[in-house]
Structures are given as C-alpha cells and as structure tokens.
A = this chain, B = another copy of it.
Amino acid sequence: MHSIPIGVLGASGYAGRELCALITRHPRLSLAFATANEQRGKTAELPGGGKVTFVATDDAPLADAALVFSAMPHGASKVWVERARAAGAKAVDLSADLRIGNDGGATPYGLTEAWRERIRGADLVANPGCYPTAILLGLLPLLEQGLIAKGATIGASAASGVTGAGFSARTDLLFGEVTENFRAYGVGNTHRHLNEMRAMVAELGADADLLFTPHLLPAARGILATMTVPLTRELPSVLDPWTARYANEPFIELVQDPPELRHVAHRNVARIAVMKVAHVRTPTLLVFSAIDNLMKGAAGQALQNANLMLGLDETLGLPA
C-alpha cells in the first residue's frame, strides 16, 4: 500500500512541527515537504523524536502532494492555499484566513464534530482556532438543542499555554516574563477568534452573545475554557445533552470532575465537564472544556480533517 504524500507550509512554528511529527508517524501518510523560509536548509527536531529539514516555501513541490497543510501566518496563508489547490492538492488551512466569520463561510469550517459530513467531501477546509475549538465543542450540544436563553450572555473565560501565541521572538513571551505570572489579553471581546465563534453561534441558530476573555498561562500548552451558560430552563440531568450528542465521538471525553490540562496534553481530545450552579437564580450551567491547543486545537484536528478528506479512518495516526 503506497503512502500518501503530504506537504506542510509554514512548518517551523509550533503547529507546523507538530504536523510534521504526526505525519511521519502516520500509518498511511508520508511527509513530501515542509517549508519555512527563514529556516530553509535547516533541520529541526520534531516533538516526540525525529527530524525535519525545511525548504523555502517558493521551492515547495506543491504538485507532489495529495494534500497540503498551511500553517502560514494569517494573511499570508490564503494565497498559498490557492496555489496548492491550483496545483491539484487538497488543502487544510490552519490560519484564520478562510474561517467562517472571516471569509463569508464558503469554506467548510473544520470543527470536525460539528461539520463532519461537509468536511468528508471537501477539497479545502478551514481549520478552527484553538480557543473556538475548546469553546464551541463545549457549547455545541446546548447550541444545537436550543437550550441557551434568548439574548443571554455566555461567559467564556479561557486560559492558554504560551505556544498558542506561536513560535515568535517576542519579549512578552520570554520565560522570565511568563513564569509566576498570569494575565488577560485581547480583552473587551476583541480577540481575533471572536468572529468565528460568533458566526458559529449564529449558524447553529442560537440567539445569544458570547463574552470571551482569554488569559495567558505560565504553561507551554493547553487551553481550558470555563463557560457560564444561562439556560431557557433548568435541566433535570445536566450532562444529558452532551452524552446524547457525543455518544459515538472518538475524540470527546465527558468527565465528572473539572478537566485538567495535563490529562489532554499531547492528545487529540476535548475533555468536557458540566456542573450545576448553586445560589444563582437564573438557571445556569458551568461548562468546562479542555484541549491541547497544538493537537485538538491545531495540528491534531487538522489531521483529523485530512483523514476525512482523504477517505481514511478519521482516527488514523492521532493520539487519544
């Protein structure tokens, strides 16, 4: 059985290297090329072992790949995805360029558990942001089942490890600035990821606002979203919407206790817990959703989508 050649554009960042590592261990895929302009000709270690040597993006043999992942920066990615498509390759874009809310919604939005059938037949998929993945997977059953109070504000306070900010030489991401620290950023509901979340809330027919406040953790990886959701009515059994919706999902874990980042690290899963709230008059649920921002929040979900686009078993090559 021949392996399927895959390309990675923008492969020197955190998500790009994670993609290269997943591809090199995948039973059916092989890495055709990995591009990184500033690192061209250089070799980097991959997470979990192994190495990759980068070529210049302009030198990428796009036509050699059956599918191309783009982990290029926002803004620069779109044109490369178009070139890959023009060369005959399928494409998964990990940037925000083609995501719902940013680009009219023409491209299937790769939140696999929400839009699996659209993804299965697609040649091009826009992979969700890491925060939207955590938050939307937590809310999906409530959104789809119309359980959120009309006009209500959903509170989504979330915290991410620093790899979420990318492999960038920024002084505010230095170890000396992040250790023993914690702070919010992108505040006042202004973060770039808000668009796609608002668009998906509307797409799923809910009439609610989202108040999203991201924070930077002194940790390398992982996102925990803590959500408070006003309901149309008290639910007799709070976990029911999730158990019903996610019964057969291979990458969703419903748990009793609040999920911990370490339990989802290096795994392509979303771990979700739901709690009743005491001492509050408005019927309200507390929903926790934890992912590894580089796996289910980026490279893992991208590969999950690619598996579907290539007609493979969705779970192939994914650590769960």
Q: Report B-chain residues with C-beta under 8 Å of the C-beta of A277.
A: 188-189, 211
Q: Is A162 an interface residue (CB 8 A)?
A: yes
Query: Does A120 sit at the interface, judged by CB under 8 A?
Result: no
Q: How far, in angstroms, from A105 to B188 measured CA to CA in the complex? A: 36
Taking CB atoms, residues of chain B closer than 8 Å to A210 are: 279-280
Residues B319 and A183 in contact, CB atoms below 8 Å apart: no
* Contact across chains for A260 and B181 when beta carbons are under 8 A apart: yes
The A217-241 residues at the B interface (CB cut-off 8 A) are: 217-222, 224, 226, 228, 230
Could you tell me the distance in whole angstroms from the C-beta of A174 to the nearest C-beta in chain B?
A: 5
Assembly CA distance A75 to B214 (angstroms): 37
Query: How many interface residues does chain A have, given as a range?
Result: 35 or more
| Contact across chains for B45 and A219 when beta carbons are under 8 A apart | no
Q: Is A204 an interface position by the 8 A CB rule?
A: no
Identify the stretch in A62-70, A128-136, A138-146, A262-270 within 8 Å (CB) of chain B at 4 or more residues.
A262-270
Assembled-state Cα–Cα distance A49/B259 (Å): 13
Within 8 A of B (CB), among A40-90: 45, 48-49
A48 pairs with B181, CB closer than 8 A? no
| A254 at the binding interface (Cβ < 8 Å) | no
B222 touching A182 by the CB < 8 A rule? Answer: yes
Min distance, Cβ A83 to any Cβ of chain B, angstroms = 28
The answer, yes or no, to whether A5 is at the interface (CB within 8 Å) is: no
Stretch of A27-35, A153-161, A298-306 lying at the B interface: A153-161
A-B pairs with beta carbons under 8 Å apart, 19 shown: A48-B266, A48-B319, A153-B228, A153-B230, A155-B157, A161-B176, A169-B171, A173-B175, A174-B174, A180-B261, A181-B219, A182-B217, A182-B224, A183-B258, A184-B226, A188-B278, A194-B279, A213-B226, A217-B217
Is A209 part of the binding interface, using a Cβ–Cβ cutoff of 8 Å?
yes
Q: When A and B form their complex, which 9 residue pairs have the shortest distance between CB atoms, in order from nearest? A: A157-B157, A175-B178, A184-B258, A183-B260, A169-B169, A188-B275, A209-B280, A181-B262, A155-B155
Q: Is the CB of A280 within 8 A of B179?
A: no
Q: In this assembly, does A312 line the interface, its C-beta being within 8 Å of a C-beta of chain B?
A: no
The verdict on A99 contacting chain B, using a C-beta distance below 8 Å, is no
Task: Collect the chain B residues with CB atoms within 8 Å of residue A174's CB.
Answer: 162, 167-170, 173-175
Q: Taking each of A151, A182, A228, which has the highest tally of chain B beta carbons within 10 Å of its own beta carbon?
A: A182
In the bound complex, what is the Cα–Cα distance between A228 and B175 (angstroms)?
29
Known A175-B179, A182-B224, A209-B279; further 5 A-B contacts with Cβ < 8 A: A151-B281, A169-B169, A181-B260, A183-B261, A218-B219
Q: With an 8 A cutoff between CB atoms, is A192 at the interface?
A: no
A320 in the interface (beta carbon within 8 A): yes
Chain B nearest CB: distance from A309 CB in Å?
25
Is A193 an interface position by the 8 A CB rule?
A: no
Q: Is B169's CB under 8 angstroms from A170's CB?
A: yes
